[in-house]
Structure 1
């Protein structure tokens, strides 16, 4: 019997799991919260966030999507509505790009200011049944955008791209084909290209032999949502040569809590744009931008 995945409200619980690429514990802000927001020395290289290892078989996995968050620890006696504390977030999203356009798109994205432009988000599907993804008529008819190239003109991109993932949310009508209420999935195009099918566990997609190729481990284990693909399968896909993958890895530092100073310290965005090379490593660059506090 399938069981509903645990849903934690505590950010410290969501930040654990073998697929979480970083465990943050540096919360010192001796120079004040404003100085903490602006410093970047405590942030790992975004490229290191694009590679995780399963502790079971030591297999290498690459995130196609991931949303992770950490908050400065508090005690049971603290009122978090009034107490200001540091928060760090990491968002990873991969995009499919035609190989001949990959480097041009990477250079263009890397040149943009992090807070003034962002890549398109994956479609969020509400009504189609999860276990009918992606072959059912409802997916192609009601949600064509999850399978279409995002027009360059619409996003100011030099060439079209599309997110390598989609997101399924349980609709109000109910869905008995899967247990979790939110599941991140590979895009329909990627499912067809890799000949993926649903595995025995929700959130897992396998090849014809039953081996898991893509998985959102949070569906069965709880924690931060992520879409992971086996590194060897990804490299085989890229070796075909007609499509490439572009990753956006974005850090956000800010101070939360407190009734009167929600934006008293501004925020720091660090956005990296990367591609995978033939050796399986990542190349690219990151750019940072500090947003000053709003005038009160």
Structure 2
């Protein structure tokens, strides 16, 4: 069991990693001033850049990335758990990983997670996205324990489009995750339709807190993201939210005793049963 203050950072990252690192650091300072000991930034904290050539030209490897270096130093300086929602990382084959980083309060790297599900969609407003053309999908879910004064909280990782795949969150909940995360750069169209309902559903069906920092507003590369960074309790109630799409911080108290309470009331994690799906032919086809 653990009780701590969590913060979500809402950003409007552009195409300049150094400028984004300064904005990131300023928001972390604001979150720490509000008492946060776990701080989460959004997907693509370091650079929102749709053009692949422009993205690749500015990519760094691991510790050389300005956001990774800045996050490690901020975690150490403030003795906080700092969760970088994701940055773009060059990997073999000319591809990119959409990678989350979790730093311990001493500044050391505790865990990473590569986004599993690629956003390959055609929206009815004309937007078309093919993340798989640039990004290599991850193949492993991840959980990590946040060591807090008086206890620990187990954290489960996801990034943006992953939130549409409830089996990932269920697997992490079954592995003991009490806080599920979904840092994102959600498009405005899909955010207006689905952001709140998807995240509340992931919280309710797993009896877990959901923490989701987001990008918001019109970015330098032309895309528009929804914002509304949010923290939700295991009963599906919104505890804190950045209203709208402007950069900002929202904070809420996480008490993991609420997870045990919700899972006791609705024990669906332990009530689940294996089953098969039977394809039943129509009477006409059967004849």
Pairwise same-fold verdict (TM > 0.5): no
- With normalisation by structure 1, the TM-score equals 0.30
TM-score by length of 2: 0.30
Give the helix-richer structure, 1 or 2. 2
Tell me: higher relative CO, structure 1 or 2? Use CA pairs within 8 A at least 6 residues apart.
Answer: 1
